[in-house]
Structure 1
Amino acid sequence: MVEKITTVHATCVSVAGKGVLITGPSNSGKSALALQLIANGANLVADDRTVVVVHNGRLQASVPNAIAGLIEARGVGLLSLQYVEAVELALVVEMGSIETARLPQPHTATFLAIELPCLHKVDAPYFPAAIYAYLSAIRIEAL
């Protein structure tokens, strides 16, 4: 049963079955990060607009029918890719906030009254790989 629903200005990919919602203002690199993750094995869910619903107390993301399978590659064009229709969200990446701390405190983002862990944009070439590692690892708060 769908409990709440909204459409957000965000891009979403599925990394090993875990949804990553990439948020931020226009031109912040949402689609570019998604393409990097897709090149490393992620699956597209939605680009630019993502439907977010609360289903059984968890957040799920899906693609509006009109843009299913489409992603913009700036300077290349609109690409049609295989896509996943829906995924349970596990992480938010906020591209409008730059992380400057070497070992940052945990951040969260709230959608439809449900909190998710949130990473701020890291302006480094390893960031897509770090997202993969984050989703398959346990984050240690301190040594």
Structure 2
Amino acid sequence: MKKILALAVVAWACSDKNVEKRDSCVPVEQMTVSSDCYDGTGGLLLTANTPTSIGLDWAIAPLKDTSGAQTYVPYYASSTSNQLVLPDSIVQKYPKIGVMYVGAYGCPSDIYFSFVRRVDKDSCTRWYLQERFVKHE
């Protein structure tokens, strides 16, 4: 009888009337790319600023030119952290990489990011953030 009474008290204490539901969603608002020279052998490291997320889903748009005007075939990936290494098979072929979506399940992704490849004065190939904007505004 004590177990039933204890369960009833716990159920009453955890009911919607007494416990405020909290949304722990932290949307991605910033993204960085590795600043190291890209040599074509280790992929490209993307890092999202969502430290509370255990894992993220990503929708990547490899683009054939830096204007982003043409269509693309999306690359979908999941990561177990806030980082994703894009494979060289994508990074080497395209001068611009768009991130159409990055977020945790049930967490909105309203910001689009794009990165472009540039060869610096020191002959080092690096990727730089080109665009960051809120979608649908």
The TM-score normalised by the length of structure 1 is 0.26
Q: Greater share of helix residues, 1 or 2?
A: 1
The TM-score normalised by the length of structure 2 is 0.26
Q: Which has the larger radius of gyration?
A: 2
